[in-house]
Chain A
Amino acid sequence: MDQVAASVMVDQPTHTITLTVNKITYELKVLPWVTLLDAIREYIELPGTKKGCDHGQCGACTVLVNGKRINSCLTLAVMKNGADITTIEGVAEDGVLHPLQQAFIDHDAFQCGYCTPGQICSAIGLINEGKATTREEIQELMSGNLCRCGAYPNIVAAVQQVNGKL
């Protein structure tokens, strides 16, 4: 078990929590004000998950918690004590890309790549939900993930290619 400690003295007790991220269990001492996003990025030091607003408005911070997609910036780390989390770093297994990752590359579903970790995690969540069948449903259910580069049509093409085939 990896230990990650943050020692800051404010008038708040730190909490000891465990998070399993990409199959590794971490024990963290965090203050309640640490978001899951910052816990992942700054405490566990997995910077693949991105911050685009810190206010639940962009989806860049999307991770999978127990298989469901959530905005990690809107979630406090302490609320997810014991949870099983997958970030973009854990999507490929043993160096083999997830079909969606390959589809993103093949369809050029990104430009700067900053929204991409969130898009991919969100799309995996969407596929798990099994709700989207049409192009328009995919578009609607991927609309919580902004892409300022405007790669949307390619993102939809990538998701369509993989949707229903997993």
Chain B
Amino acid sequence: MNNNTNYIGKPVNRVDGYAKVTGGAKYAADHHARGLCYGVVVSAGIAKGKILHIDTTEAMQLEGVFKIFTHENVSGLAWFNHSYKDMDAPPGKHFRYLQTDTITYSQQPVALVVAETFELARYAASLVKVTYKADAHVTNLTGNLDQARPPKGKKSGFKKPSSRGHFDKAFTAAPVTLDATYFHGAEHHNPMEMHATTVLYYKNGSITVYDKTQGILNTQSYVKSVFGLSGRKVKALSPFVGGAFGSGLRPQYQLFMAVLASLELKRSVKVMLTRQQMFSLGFRPITQQSLSIGSMEDGSLQAIKHEAVSGTSQFEDYVENIVNWSGMLYHCKNVKQSYQLVSLDTYTPLDMRAPGAVTGMFGLECAMDELAYKLNIDPLELRYINYSVEDGSMKKPYSSKALRDCYQQAAERFGWSQRNPEPRSMKNGHLLTGWGMATGMWDAMTVPARAKATFTADGRLTVGSATADIGTGTYTIMTQIAAETLGLPMDNVTFQLGDASLPYAYLEGGSATAASVGTAVQKACMQVRERLLDLAKDIPDSPFKGLSVAQVSFADGMMFMTETPANFIHLKDIMTLTDTGEINVTSTPLPNVFKQMKYAKNTHAAVFVEVQVDEELGAVKVTRVVSAVAAGRILNPKTARSQIMGGIVWGISGALHEESVLDHQFGRFINHNYAEYHIPVNLDINDIDVIFVEEQDDVVNPMGIKGVGEIGQVGVAAAIANAIYHATGKRIRELPITLDKLL
């Protein structure tokens, strides 16, 4: 056997690459229909108060304006709060668009103008006059820390902070201590594709919804429950998503608006938010965190206290795991943690790439660097001294943890051993060079997912699951898994996603898709294998009679006996000889919970960066990044590397560029456009070197997949802040580290 159908672990090109480079990939706003009309949203100009009056007269006089939806004319929608709950909703009272005269946050949508063309809708929207009675608003977290309170209710994935031992006693007794407070403001996801929905309306009253989402079932169920529609009436699709990073985890209001207008006007409707309105969606919460660490002179940690306060909205309690990492990463007996919220007059924050970890690990890994300097110990050495083989918060060993190898390989590639620890020791005129490092950590999660597979007599396999590909490579890796499992060329395999009629998959988020959907896909293909073997046994004189599925292998379009590969049969022949048209299966993998319960399951990374700081201008350039990642089995090093690289770019962005600036006078994010909300451009990104340290892990799932969507970003901001300290001798504890902070 040649076995040309081994794909797992190979750097194959994206299967959707052709569509993406030719303009053939259709995103939510790329659909057309006869009589399609356009909706433009009017956003509130105040942060808190009441709408006194909405004057739509002038706008409605324009020919071609069909309707203007406001709270005054929207009715008949779902009554109960739970109808507005979505798969990622935090506990609270979920927002109902256009159903109240109360303004709860700046840029709250207050009207939807629907017209024959986009230009006309936009113009008409500018003629809608809203008068408000403004109330005093509160958007300042740091000025309201006295309002901090524990979060209410539960959100999926949230782990309560857990303390252990006796922090106070141990901290007081520790010979070396550190106290530091860190802060970052809000960040908005800002995927390149602005949130958009196109609803196609059919004469029989059914609709097809093209939505920008990370979970098409979330879209469909929201539409069903809010508008009281049956599943048969709502087809929901999202084959291509122009990035999301968390912004597609909840149904965003353009979905509501487009469906509302379509059902009412009985027309097809397209609604795309403006870039400005992308700042009216959820965001990474504004967070202040404090760390107190006590250690012995030899660097061994005695006590860690990690406390964080984040902002949330007035109506939902968004929570994320910020402080928990401090109880997991290092060996330390005495840990104290607390996590609190302050309600602000903003929209509810929302999971944004590596939510919680990006924040918490920034604090923890900067604090470790500060401690290293106090102790006069190399920062990497300090990590080795406190290396932990178990998750101390749960007292469980890791299912696998190759972090030590990550440290070693990345440090060697980077040349860390050459580092002079002295700040400002690498100076060349007005340019200061600095080296810093940090650790990254994220969860290796599995979420519920099913898949179906159809194998047809022409030798083609179609596999599907209602998951998403937001740029992560889902299409590609699922095709690899399916093709290899059945031993088919990838060209003969099609993977479908982003369709609510496909078998259940949870939201694409948290780096859980490769592991979860991947397992379901593999299992479905294993079921096809069994069926093929059963069929083959029916063929007269079949050599396969009496064999179990464990005794046969699949490759190059054939099934063969593993022991004696000369006994083989083409899969197509199995189908023809048994007169079988197609094989259909659906898989529902169940994780081995008993096995998994005994372990902590995480991904790790070690990231080393070099920065160059222009002392006269304060400008920082990240000249080099080396990141070694331990994330179980890597299905496709090409797409996985892109994920990690993207995460690193996000880390650079968070460290140096990104911040949604709140003007507390207006309670509004004022830099709400791509010119003033800075993200890295091409010239900002230099050498990025990604190393995968593969781990064998049969606990997480049968294929040992841990996921790579988030881990690349975690720790990067800390490594940069630490490198900037090394370059300049300045400890900046507030992100982003803009030039004003360095002058």
Residues of A at the B interface (CB closer than 8 Å) are 6, 8-10, 31, 33-34, 38, 41-42, 45-55, 57-58, 60, 87-89, 91-92, 97, 101-102, 104-106, 108, 110-117, 120, 136, 138-140, 142-156
Contacts and interface: CB of A to CB of B under 8 A. Distances in A.
B566 interface: no
Interface in B210-246: 240-245
B682 A51 contact: no
B193 interface: yes
B674 A111 contact: no
Contacts of A114: 27, 191-193, 242-243
Interface in B127-152: none
B605 interface: no
B643 A8 contact: no
Contact of B685 (A47, A50, A51, A153): A153
B214 to A, nearest CB: 11
A111 B243 contact: yes
Interface of B: 13-14, 16-27, 29-32, 62-64, 115-120, 123, 190-194, 240-245, 272, 274-275, 470-473, 638-639, 641-643, 645-650, 653, 673-675, 679-685, 687-688
B688 to A, nearest CB: 6
Contact of A58 (B241, B642, B674, B682): B674
Contact of B22 (A58, A88, A151): A88
A52 B32 CA distance: 19
A31 B21 contact: no
Contacts of B473: 111
B243 A146 contact: no
Nearest to A100: B21
A148 B248 CA distance: 15
A143 B27 contact: no
Main secondary structure of the interface of A (DSSP, over half): loop
B673 A139 contact: no
Contact of B243 (A33, A92, A97, A112): A112
Nearest to B22: A92
A157 to B, nearest CB: 11
A36 to B, nearest CB: 13
A151 B120 CA distance: 36
A4 B473 CA distance: 37
A50 B682 contact: no
30 contacts: A8-B116, A8-B119, A10-B63, A46-B23, A47-B30, A47-B32, A54-B274, A87-B23, A89-B23, A101-B21, A104-B21, A108-B17, A110-B20, A111-B472, A112-B191, A112-B243, A112-B244, A113-B19, A114-B193, A136-B683, A142-B682, A143-B682, A144-B681, A149-B471, A150-B653, A150-B680, A151-B646, A152-B681, A153-B685, A155-B682
A115 B25 CA distance: 12
A41 B119 CA distance: 13
Nearest to A148: B192
A83 B673 CA distance: 30
Contact of A146 (B120, B192, B648): B192
Nearest to B638: A108
Contacts of A89: 22-24
Contact of A52 (B14, B22, B30, B275): B275
Given A89-B22, A111-B643, A152 B649 contact: yes
Contacts of B120: 8, 10
Contacts of A138: 682
A143 B22 contact: no
A58 B192 contact: yes
Nearest to A106: B13
A55 B190 contact: no
A13 to B, nearest CB: 14
Contacts of A42: 117-118
B516 to A, nearest CB: 20
A52 B195 CA distance: 10
B13 A108 contact: yes
Contacts of B639: 108
A120 B24 CA distance: 14
Given A101-B21, A101-B22, A150 B648 contact: yes
Contacts of B688: 153
Contacts of B240: 112-113
Contact of A113 (B25, B116, B272, B641): B25
Given A8-B64, A111-B472, A150-B647, 8 more contacts: A51-B194, A92-B22, A97-B21, A97-B22, A102-B21, A105-B13, A112-B241, A146-B192
Identify the interface centre among B20, B194, B473: most chain A CB within 10 Å of its CB. Answer: B20
Nearest to B62: A10
A104 B20 CA distance: 10
B22 A91 contact: yes
A148 B578 CA distance: 51
Contacts of B679: 146, 148
Nearest to B278: A53
Contacts of B687: 153
Contact of B23 (A38, A51, A53, A88): A88
A34 B119 contact: yes
Contacts of A140: 682-683
A102 B17 CA distance: 9
Contacts of B642: 108, 111, 149, 151, 154
B471 A113 contact: yes
Contact of B272 (A33, A51, A148, A152): A51
A27 B126 CA distance: 29
Identify the interface centre among B123, B240, B653, B683: most chain A CB within 10 Å of its CB. Answer: B683
A48 B24 contact: yes
Nearest to B650: A150
